[in-house]
Amino acid sequence: MSLKWAELIENGKLSALLPTNQDEEKELLSARNREVIDTNEKNINNNVSLSTVEQLLLANYFAIGPYNFQAIIGSLDKYGMEYILRYANHFNKARFILNNNKRSFIVLEDAKESSIKLFSELLTKDKISPFILGLYLNNGYSNREFPFVLTHPTSIYKLNPRCISNIELIEEEELVRYLRICNPTFRAEPNMLYFNENLIDNYAIRLLVTVYKELYLIVDNKTNLVVFVGGRN
């Protein structure tokens, strides 16, 4: 499919476009110098809502189901420890990774049933962020298996931000700060997101193309499903 706002990357490799340091991630996850956080229910406030970042951290557990997802968040002090501790309260497992006795990263795993239930309740009340709806809850979404296994050839596209209208980021200030500070490289596997002319109206894509200098999509050539979204600054 040819769209003026999406450039086909011939012979493109995602590892080159969005490099990751897998050795560093493995080292972080196996680090012995860590600080476990007590996230018992008694430490959770009686939440009646979730910020968009909290929704983002919980979305996979709702859209995909119980899988051992891991969120690794860095730049803790720069972003704000009060936010980090609030996010940690939604998980049964949360630990700081220490470097020279300083909290460098936090690893969040195993979302609490109470938090996933709250996410579901907010969805029924139409109180889920349009960013989350656009990325994970599209087109009569359905729970899908994970890890997602590609069975068809794919193509990589780079989006042209000049052809996609920006949005006012002030509406999602906390999310934008989180993405820019804690996720300079963004990766997500969306749910039921199709690569067609309507994609440039998707709120999540418009926000991401506003936040990141480069935004890439991996598209299933047979179904036109977007199976991966990646951005970097």
> Ramachandran region of residue 224, left (φ > 0), alpha (ψ -120 to 50) or beta?
left
Instruction: Provide the residue type at 33 as one letter.
Output: N
pTM, two decimal places: 0.87
Sheet holding 214-220, edge to edge: 6-8, 154-159, 214-220, 226-232, 185-188
Tell me what pLDDT residue 64 has. Answer: 75
195 pLDDT tier (thresholds 50, 70, 90): very high
The answer to whether residues 115 and 169 touch, using CB atoms and an 8 Å cutoff, is no
Q: What is the CA radius of gyration of the chain?
A: 18
> Distance between CA 80 and CA 142 in Å, rounded?
34
More confident: 143 or 135: 135
The answer to whether residues 56 and 86 touch, using CB atoms and an 8 Å cutoff, is no
The answer to whether residues 217 and 157 touch, using CB atoms and an 8 Å cutoff, is yes
pLDDT per position as a tens digit, 52-71? 999 999 998 888 766 678 89
pLDDT at 207 over 60: yes
Per the listing, tokens 């109206």 go with 201
Q: What are phi and psi of 70, to 5 degrees?
A: -130, 125
Exposure string (b/e) for 112-141, b if CB count within 10 Å is 16 or more? beebbebbeebeeeeebbbbbbbbbbbeee
Average pLDDT over residues 165-185: 88
Average pLDDT over residues 195-208: 93
pLDDT per position as a tens digit, 7-39? 998 766 666 666 665 545 555 556 567 788 777
Residue 223's nearest CA partner among 163, 164, 148 is 148
Residue 90's nearest CA partner among 51, 138, 137, 58 is 58
